[in-house]
Amino acid sequence: MTCCEAEAMSSGTGVMPIRQVQDNGTSRFGTLTRKTIAEGLFDVALLMSNASQLNAILAAGSGAKFYSIILGFLITSIVLQLIVGGVLLAIATLEIKQDSGRKLHSTLNTVAVGLIGFITAVNIFITAFGVNVTNSAIGNNTL
C-alpha cells in the first residue's frame, strides 16, 4: 500500500489526493514558449491576410463597393497590429523585479489586450464588408 492509498483510506473518503508534482520550471517555460510562438504565427498570418486584402482593394480601385470603408479598416488594422507588436516587444524586455516594473508590465499588458480586442473587431468589419475582387478587376493575373 502506498502512502497515498493509506491517506485515502484513513480519510474515509476513499478519494486519493492529487500528487504534488515537482516543477522545475521547464514545463511551464516550454508551454509559454510554444504559446508565444503560436500567437506570433497567428499575428503574422493576420498581418499577411490584411496586406493581401489591402492589395486586392487597391487593385480594384475606388470603384469597388465600400472602397473607402474597407481601405480605412485595413489601414487601421495594420497600424494597430504594428503598435501591438511594439507593445509586446516592450513587455518582453521589461524588468519586473521591482514594483514599478510590475505596474508598467500590467499596464502594457492591459493596453495590448485592449488593442488586440479592437483589432479583432476591426477585422470582423473587414470580413463583413468583404473584399470581393474578380480577376477582371486585377487584370486577370493568375498564380
102-142 pLDDT, tens digit each:
888 888 888 988 999 999 999 999 988 876 655 444 454 44
Determine whether 11 is exposed, middle or buried from the number of CB atoms within 10 Å of its CB (0-12, 13-18, 19+).
exposed
Going from N- to C-terminal start, the domains of the chain cover 37-130
pTM of the model: 0.66
Q: What pLDDT shows up at residue 20?
A: 47
Per-range mean pLDDT, top range of 19-23, 92-96, 125-129: 125-129
Residue by residue, DSSP assigns 2-23 as -HHHHHHHHHTS-PPPPPPPP-
CA distances from 111 to 80, 81, 107, 116, 117 (A): 11, 12, 6, 9, 10
**Are the beta carbons of 111 and 87 closer than 8 angstroms?**
yes
Q: Is the pLDDT assigned to residue 19 strictly greater than 90? A: no
Helices (H), ranges, the chain: 3-11, 26-60, 67-93, 99-129
**Are the beta carbons of 71 and 57 closer than 8 angstroms?**
yes
